[in-house]
Amino acid sequence: MLSEDELTFVTSNKHKAVEVREIFRSHGARCQVHYMKTIEIQSNDIAEIAIFSSFQAYQLLGKPVFVEDAGLFVDALNGFPGPYSSYVYRTLGLETFLKLLNKRRNAFFKSVVCVYGLSRAPVIFSGVVKGRIATEPRGEGGFGYDPVFIPAGSTKTLAEMSVAEKNKWSHRAKAVEKLLRWLYKDRKTFHMR
């Protein structure tokens, strides 16, 4: 059985750490977090970014790690900002971002989790949540685009939800739950290869 000391979540985002720990906790598992900023390569592929970051974290820490990277893909903007979501958020902010949109407000969040150091190759898990972009920010929770993203089937933005409630909808939760299933159910034994 894999212990919490054998796989570490590497992130520089305290909000992601809270969400990931809560997902692990809700499944009866614990999650170690190491706060560290990795170099984020420029790529049109979120998985490629996650693989590079996980390899870098593995090299620096010398133990099995996983990282998570995500993007917001807006239909009216042909999938933009996608892998550049963090940069666009930091550069434009939510108000300016909302001005870019027309009446077509469908979008989806995609999360990619990459594990490095437990097998011969990186292992990838992804999660997607479809929804729409609100006309104005709502809610005090979450981070990034959470105040403007409303998951399909909900009337609340992610920022209007508690962490536990957000994890019932979120792209990140879907990817991390796939990781947990792989760690604790799909794999029969833990061993380095």
Instruction: Retrieve residue 135's tokens.
Output: 């006309």
Res. 25: pLDDT tops 70: yes
How is residue 13 annotated by DSSP? -
Structure confidence by residue, pLDDT tens digits, 52-104: 999 999 999 999 999 999 999 999 999 999 999 999 999 999 999 999 998 89
Instruction: Retrieve residue 94's tokens.
Output: 């939510």
User: What confidence category does residue 185 fall into, taking pLDDT thresholds of 50, 70 and 90?
Assistant: confident
pLDDT for res 189: 41
The pTM score is 0.91
Residue carrying the six token digits 């590079």: 52
CATH number for the 8-186 domain, one of 3.40.50.150, 3.30.1540.10, 3.90.950.10, 3.30.413.10? 3.90.950.10
Structure confidence by residue, pLDDT tens digits, 115-160: 999 988 999 999 999 999 999 999 999 999 999 999 999 999 999 9
On whether 172 is known to bind a ligand per the annotation, the reply is yes
Positions marked catalytic: 69
Distance CA 182, CA 125 (A): 9
Q: What are phi and psi of 22, to 5 degrees?
A: -65, -40
On whether 145 is known to bind a ligand per the annotation, the reply is yes
Three-state SS across 62-94? CCCEEEEEEEEEEHHHCCCEECCHHHHHHHHHH
Among candidate residues 20, 5, 49, the one with its CA nearest the CA of residue 173:
20
On whether 48 is known to bind a ligand per the annotation, the reply is no
DSSP-based three-state secondary structure for 125 = strand
